[in-house]
Amino acid sequence: MSYTRTIQIDGPVDDAVDKVKAALQEQGFGTLTEIDLAATMREKLDVEVEPYVILGACNPELAHRALEADRSIGALLPCNVVVRAQGDRTIVDALDPSIMSQLASGLEGVASDATERIDAALSALGSD
């Protein structure tokens, strides 16, 4: 079962992170958190991994609708978007919002709207 919506883009992760944030913002998502997983692994475990950033994206309207349908859905919020290096390409993985509707009832509309917005953000990145 696939649980992400993915796109490959040119350029380094550092440049891509700003582009991903901008594309998400165009679709109404703010970035609540930004985790530099590579730096954390280096600091905590003395392990080197490829550039890997996790963005916690939130669209307040969609989050509110989801919470109204199922208060426990907050365990899946915010929507995580990963920006990571793979060779000379950058991969952007976004959690597939349809996962919400598979785990809880009453979220089909929210998941569909979120999927459209995530897909639009990813498509905008691919049009560079």
Beta carbons of 67 and 74 less than 8 angstroms apart: yes
Q: What is the CATH number of domain 4-126?
A: 3.30.310.70
Q: Give the model confidence (pLDDT) of 7-35 as tens digits.
A: 999 999 999 999 999 999 999 999 999 99
Q: What's the whole-model pTM score?
A: 0.93
Asked whether the beta carbons of 122 and 23 are under 8 A apart, the reply is yes
At 27, the amino acid letter reads Q
b/e 108-120 (16+ beta carbons within 10 angstroms → b): eebbebbbebbbe
Mean pLDDT score across all residues of the chain: 94
User: Amino acid identity of 102?
Assistant: Q
